[in-house]
Amino acid sequence: MISPRNFALLTVLTAGALGSWYLARPDRTGDDDELPYEPVNRGYYLKSARILGTGENGDLLYEIQAEHAEQQTDKRVEFTDVRVRYSPDSDIPWTVNADAATLTEGSPRITLRGHVRATGRSSDDNETEIRTQYLEFYPERFVAETDQRVQVRIGERSLTATGMLASLNDDRIELKSNVRGKIAP
Is residue 166 situated within a structural domain? yes
3 vs 6, 7, 10, CA distance in Å? Answer: 5, 6, 10
More confident residue, 84 or 182: 84
Is residue 21 situated within a structural domain? no
Cβ neighbours of residue 118 closer than 8 Å, sequence gap 6 or more: 94, 95, 96, 97, 129, 130, 135, 144, 166, 168
Amino acid at the residue 167: S
Model pLDDT for residues 81-120, shown as the tens digit of each residue: 999 998 888 788 899 999 999 998 888 899 999 999 999 8
Model pLDDT for residues 135-162, shown as the tens digit of each residue: 999 999 999 999 999 999 988 888 999 9
Number of domains in the chain: 1
Please give the Cα distance from 5 to 74 (Å, whole number): 68
pTM confidence score: 0.72
Model pLDDT for residues 19-36, shown as the tens digit of each residue: 787 777 776 555 555 656
- Considering only CA atoms, give the Rg of the chain: 31
CA atoms within 13 A on the CB side of 122: 15
45-54 β-sheet, strand order: 45-54, 60-71, 76-86, 94-104, 110-121, 127-138, 143-154, 157-167, 172-182
Is residue 107 situated within a structural domain? yes
For 66, counting Cβ atoms within 10 Å of its Cβ (0-12 exposed, 13-18 middle, 19+ buried), the class is buried
Is residue 138 situated within a structural domain? yes
In this prediction, residues 164-183 reach a mean pLDDT of 87
What CATH number is attached to the domain comprising 73?
2.60.450.10
Tell me which residue range forms the domain holding 150.
Answer: 45-182
Is residue 162 situated within a structural domain? yes
Q: Are 115 and 99 in contact (CB under 8 A)?
A: yes
Is residue 29 situated within a structural domain? no
Q: Please choose, from the candidates 64, 66, 63, the residue with its C-alpha nearest in 3D space to the C-alpha of residue 47.
A: 66
Is residue 30 situated within a structural domain? no
Share of the chain above pLDDT 70, in %: 88
The vertex-107 CA angle with 43 and 160, nearest 5°, equals 110
Is residue 23 situated within a structural domain? no
Q: Are 164 and 174 in contact (CB under 8 A)?
A: yes
